[in-house]
Amino acid sequence: MSFFAITKTLLKSLFRKPATVAYPFGPREYVKGTRGSIAIVVDQCIFCGICQKKCPTNALIVNRNDKTWTIARGRCISCGACVEVCPKKCLTMDEKYSEPGRKKQEEVFKHA
């Protein structure tokens, strides 16, 4: 009985598209709603610091005097708490993940 079940599955698999993507040869398609990395439009930011206060991992540093917004990507867990509370909606969740690195780095965004 199990031989027929395996044959049925095998025949279905022969005529379908592969379930995986050949990684280096094809681009990765992210599912809608994927929580990748935080992105900011620094020109719209008012540097209020609410995002810094709501961040559960203290990955954000907002300096109102210098007009800088800093994120430690290694500490960010992509929960989206900062995006939800931003009053100017200058923070968004990208669908792509941040690039892996060997060193802990902080990205600094400065208002022009």
Q: What pLDDT digit, counting tens, does each position of 8-33 carry? A: 888 888 888 877 777 777 777 777 87
What phi and psi, each to the nearest 5 degrees, are found at residue 81? -65, -40
Give percent of the chain above pLDDT 90. Answer: 51
Segment 73-94, tens digit of pLDDT: 889 999 999 999 999 999 999 8
State the Rg of the chain over Cα: 21
List Cα–Cα distances, 19 to 14, 26, 29, 34, in angstroms.
12, 13, 13, 19
3-state secondary structure 34-52: CCCCEEECCCCCCCCCHHH
Which pLDDT score, from 0 to 100, does residue 60 have? 96
Lookup: tokens for 4: 């027929």
Lookup: tokens for 17: 């598209």
Mean pLDDT of the chain: 87
Q: Assign domain 34-110 one CATH number from 3.40.50.720, 3.30.70.3270, 3.90.1640.10, 3.30.450.20.
A: 3.30.70.3270
